[in-house]
Structure 1
Amino acid sequence: MPNQGAVTAITAKRLTLALCAAGVVGGAVGALAVNHNNVAAETAAAAAAAPAPAASVAPAPSVAPAPAATVTLPDFTRIAATNGKAVVNIRVVGGIKTGNRADVPSLPRNHPLYEFFRQFQDPRFGGGGGREAPVFGAGSGFIVSPDGVILTNAHVVKGADEVTVKLQDRREFRAKVLGSDARTDVAVLKIDAKNLPVAPLGKSRNLAPGEWVLAIGSPYGLESTVTAGVVSATGRNLSDGQVPFIQTDVAINPGNSGGPLFNTRGEVVGINSQIYSQTGGYQGLAFSIPIDVAVKIKDQIIATGKVQHAKLGVSVQEIGQDFADSFGLESPDGALIASVERGSPAERAGLKSGDIVRRINGQPIVSSLDLSSNIALSKPGEKVALDVWRDGKLVRIDATLGDANEKGRRAPQEELASNSDNSARLGLALRPLEPIERRQSGIASGLVIEDASGAAAIAGVEPGDVLISVNGRPVNTVGQVRDVVAKASKSVALLIQRGSDKIFIPVRIG
């Protein structure tokens, strides 16, 4: 948490700026009034000295200054008073095994103190292993149906033996965990109650950076705490691409987890989940799960008691300007497929390394997260239509998604002929794979990078990497590399095998 001095200094600075602005405006108005008085006096003197006009002329009407524009702030009090009734406090009790106490000696049964220690349930004297020690936790949640269905974070109730929900009217209920999903960090609870206040749900996909938002929760156990801020960004990828997080500057602290994020219409648009902090407290970077994601998880849990996630069976990378230049794209949008699992839905559909997914079911793919989250939030068996950029043109590929719990393996590369030479324009010294290297590494084709300098070294290519393709074209001879590079104008995309990983590296050659 920031120290009080820092907060005070910032506040004082803002007040000073506000007062300075007011002073400037007042000074300008005063000067304008003095000028009007001078003009009036000079006009009167001139009129007295001049001959009377033949006809009187009406004075020009004075022009009133334009009114200042007014800015209306959202009514947070209405949201807090009305929809805040659906926000709940969650207390959790769990148990963990405790180890043997190191400060107690091991004693034989005939020792005079054996019975004393046994009465204190030390596991070495009563048998049966370690004891359960209670662990307490707390968080927030919100009611989404009048019969007691509650949304919160999965990490709030993880490992819980008892979950207690406290309502705004101070009533408390024992809650049942209907289900939770660690991938999206969403959990669904149920309490035995009726006619409860409900938090209305909005659409998180309609959020825009700069929009006002409001959080209600129980930071550090302080129930019904209201904090506000703006949406800083949407579609943030924090971990494995399962959730496109909403980033805000709303003050979120431990205990806020699972609480609602409201828009100015009083609709829930997110579940407060994580913060970025070097101190453990609020530092201006808070992240919320989009309510669109949470509702999909909730519906699956209520219907089946579990959550299924789909998979396509590819690893993807971001498209930068270098990649866009390499693949002939007008803009750096899309998800670049780095590798395809053997036997996966992607392989069955015909997807290949070097393909760039530009749309899924007609929706644009701007970043790799758009593809990953869209697939992860689909169900196994669903069909998707992919618009893929391949060899300089768009092709349509239909795929039937698999189950994310199924494991796949990478497809081997096709066997190609090999030669020896180097590619000076890239700064690479290349040689073909030896038969023993192919057997040991499992790489069927490609060129070993013996040395990297110049543009390749700057891009991050390392000696020992294996070059598999250039701009999506498989290569096994330096001649093939040279042919592709000769046709490139600004940069090329190298598919590199490094250890067990395949990655695309853009190399500028212009």
Structure 2
Amino acid sequence: MPKRQSRLLCSVALAAALAAGGVGPLTAPAAAAQPARNLPAGVPSSFADIVQRVAPAVVSIDVTRSAPARPNLPQLFPGFPFFFGFPGSPDGNNGTPSLPNARVSGSGFFITPTGYIVTNNHVVENATKVSVRTNEGRELEARVIGRDPLTDLAVLKVEGSNFPYVTFETNARPRVGDWVIAMGNPFGLGGTATSGIVSAYGRDIGEAYVDYLQIDAPINRGNSGGPTFDVYGRVIGVNTAIFSPSGGSVGIGFAIPAEIADRITKQLISGGSIVRGYIGAMVQNLTPEIAESLGIPGRKGALVAEVTPGGPGDLAGLRAGDAILSLNGQELTSSSDLTRRVGAAREGDRLRLEIWREGRRQTLELRAGRRPADDAPGVVNPADAASLGLTLRPLDQAARTQYRLPATARGVVIDAVSPGSDAAEKGLRAGDVIDRVGERSVAAPADVREAIDAARRQGRPSVLVRVWREGRSLFVPLRLTS
């Protein structure tokens, strides 16, 4: 046999042998212990053995949730873009009024034998009913244990035991160019598997708390929340997003790295919510042009655009215009890098910031606070908001980051809309900003409560609120209910 052919057959045989290994709880321990640098080279002859082993842990998720109808746009604005739900937007549907309820499908996977399931937050957000279909066809009702919009992760729970499950691989990861397998429930058709390679690590696609894993395994709509495996069947990520320049269903795939998903899901399971560190500053990237203008060419980091009064940064002397170059001695690569590292800190942790101010380096020390969005005070629940069906929160730096709101936006931000409420029927959604209720401008949730109380005292059945979204404002009347 020619040497070249012999080497090729050996390579294929090695890849097939390694691919036959299992993962974590569904895998042989010897295979799970393989270091990432020993991942097989060349083209595997088949992924069938891996898929067969891990597929039982992957589930399809069916969600029923409210789909707010679009309000009637006043006719005195001919040609004005439809405010609540532009054509092609998630609740726009190209001009067709939404139905009272909508059904969506996604993917997930068991991470414990007792029924805990990981999926994406956007799959179960505003859900009124969630059901899970297992690989063997069982349909189970599920409840949402916790959600984290900032990382797009959520945890569900179904009743039962001895479910097949997989675990996150946090100690080793494949190299750029190594094979990966993405599994999920595209288009609601049931479990499928696609393969590709790791394209890149540390991708920043606009989410402050996640540096994404990029893969080129085809990801179709409905694969959201499914697992990404390496060739040993270890979970190295959670499918979360696709980008298609042509607007189609298949494009560049992104996954939440396993180390982030593992940390977040453990917090959700233990407490139902996420606690993050906080310094109280709105930041932007320190671009080469900005760095040059400040006299520090070639440096990366974060530029402070706004400091929250009374926050940890303000108390430590941080100012707008400061360039933050490093955190605890480690250089920063971007504003997102700072946000993630501060978010990973615990309340009370000591943080040392190296800043550039007035042409020289300075050091500020502070103790991390707790992100206000994770605190109950300052949030108005639906009952406190006179049953408008809205959960409101202050428009602070955390809210601006989460909902990508500009510094010019003023008011209070809607954090949730109750299904079936008048607000839901009229198209209000999380991320909308309310800056006026009745004749009052509002700057805090308490202002909204006072305006509603005043309307009640006057015997009014509704209030007129001005809502801002994506640079445009519109008045919307909302009924008051007891």
Query: What residue identity is the alignment partner of 2:369?
Result: L
Alpha-carbon distance, 1:205 to partner: 8.7
Contact 2:198 2:213 in 1 (8 A): yes
TM-score of the pair, normalised by structure 1: 0.55
1:77 aligns to what? Answer: 48
1:228 aligns to what? Answer: 195
Pair 1:266 & 2:236 matched: no
Describe the superposition over 1:295-337 as per-residue Cα deviations: whole angstroms up to 9, x where unpaired: 2322222222223333322222223333444445474322222
Unaligned runs of 5+ in 2: 12-40, 72-97, 379-393, 398-482
Identify which range, 243-252 or 370-379, moves more after superposition: 370-379
1:413-492 correspondence runs (5 A): none
2:271 aligns to what? Answer: 304
Unaligned runs of 5+ in 1: 1-28, 30-63, 101-130, 411-510
Contact 1:308 1:404 in 2 (8 A): no
Describe the superposition over 1:248-277 as per-residue Cα deviations: whole angstroms up to 9, x where unpaired: 222111110110111233221221111113
CA distance in 1, matches of 2:221, 2:152: 15
Describe the superposition over 1:436-464 as per-residue Cα deviations: whole angstroms up to 9, x where unpaired: xxxxxxxxxxxxxxxxxxxxxxxxxxxxx
Q: Specify whether residues 213 and 349 from structure 1 end up closer, same or farther in structure 2 by C-alpha distance, changes over 3 A only.
A: farther
Contact 1:342 1:409 in 2 (8 A): no
Query: What residue identity is the alignment partner of 1:392?
Result: R
Describe the superposition over 1:116-143 as per-residue Cα deviations: whole angstroms up to 9, x where unpaired: xxxxxxxxxxxxxxx9954221110011
* Residue from 278, 281, 302 that aligns with 1:314: 281
Q: Specify whether residues 381 and 299 from structure 1 end up closer, same or farther in structure 2 by C-alpha distance, changes over 3 A only.
A: farther
1:104-503 correspondence runs (5 A): 133-203=100-170, 206=173, 208-278=175-245, 280-329=247-296, 331-390=298-357, 391-393=359-361, 395=363, 397-405=365-373
CA distance in 2, matches of 1:398, 1:140: 41
Contact 1:92 1:164 in 2 (8 A): yes
1:91 aligns to what? Answer: 62
Q: Specify whether residues 317 and 252 from structure 1 end up closer, same or farther in structure 2 by C-alpha distance, changes over 3 A only.
A: same
CA distance in 2, matches of 1:380, 1:311: 8
Higher relative contact order (CA 8 A, sep 6+): 2
SS for the counterpart of 2:111 is strand
Describe the superposition over 1:219-278 as per-residue Cα deviations: whole angstroms up to 9, x where unpaired: 012222111122223333333523222222221111101101112332212211111135
2:464 aligns to what? Answer: none
Alpha-carbon distance, 1:404 to partner: 3.5
Aligned-residue RMSD, C-alpha: 3.4
CA distance in 2, matches of 1:66, 1:170: 44
1:445 aligns to what? Answer: none
Q: Percent identity?
A: 35
Q: Specify whether residues 302 and 382 from structure 1 end up closer, same or farther in structure 2 by C-alpha distance, changes over 3 A only.
A: farther
Alpha-carbon distance, 1:152 to partner: 0.2
CA distance in 1, matches of 2:107, 2:268: 19
CA distance in 2, matches of 1:225, 1:267: 17
CA distance in 1, matches of 2:68, 2:241: 28
Alpha-carbon distance, 1:346 to partner: 1.0
CA distance in 1, matches of 2:320, 2:134: 53
Q: Specify whether residues 361 and 262 from structure 1 end up closer, same or farther in structure 2 by C-alpha distance, changes over 3 A only.
A: farther
CA distance in 2, matches of 1:261, 1:378: 27
Q: Specify whether residues 359 and 85 from structure 1 end up closer, same or farther in structure 2 by C-alpha distance, changes over 3 A only.
A: farther
Alpha-carbon distance, 1:144 to partner: 0.5
Contact 1:344 1:408 in 2 (8 A): no
Bigger radius of gyration among the two: 1
Q: Normalized per residue, which structure has more helix?
A: 1
Q: Specify whether residues 324 and 204 from structure 1 end up closer, same or farther in structure 2 by C-alpha distance, changes over 3 A only.
A: farther
Identify which range, 155-164 or 353-362, moves more after superposition: 353-362
Matched residue count: 319
CA distance in 1, matches of 2:70, 2:334: 47
Contact 1:204 1:269 in 2 (8 A): no
Query: What residue identity is the alignment partner of 2:52?
Result: A
Contact 1:343 1:408 in 2 (8 A): no
Q: Specify whether residues 265 and 68 from structure 1 end up closer, same or farther in structure 2 by C-alpha distance, changes over 3 A only.
A: closer
SS for the counterpart of 1:395 is strand
Alpha-carbon distance, 1:361 to partner: 3.7
1:45-56 correspondence runs (5 A): none
TM-score of the pair, normalised by structure 2: 0.58
CA distance in 2, matches of 1:238, 1:193: 37
CA distance in 2, matches of 1:409, 1:189: 29
Q: Specify whether residues 267 and 136 from structure 1 end up closer, same or farther in structure 2 by C-alpha distance, changes over 3 A only.
A: same
Describe the superposition over 1:58-116 as per-residue Cα deviations: whole angstroms up to 9, x where unpaired: xxxxxx9998785433563332121222111111223557799xxxxxxxxxxxxxxxx
Query: What residue identity is the alignment partner of 1:234?
Result: Y
Contact 2:150 2:208 in 1 (8 A): no
Contact 1:314 1:340 in 2 (8 A): yes
Q: Specify whether residues 402 and 164 from structure 1 end up closer, same or farther in structure 2 by C-alpha distance, changes over 3 A only.
A: closer
Q: Specify whether residues 144 and 361 from structure 1 end up closer, same or farther in structure 2 by C-alpha distance, changes over 3 A only.
A: farther
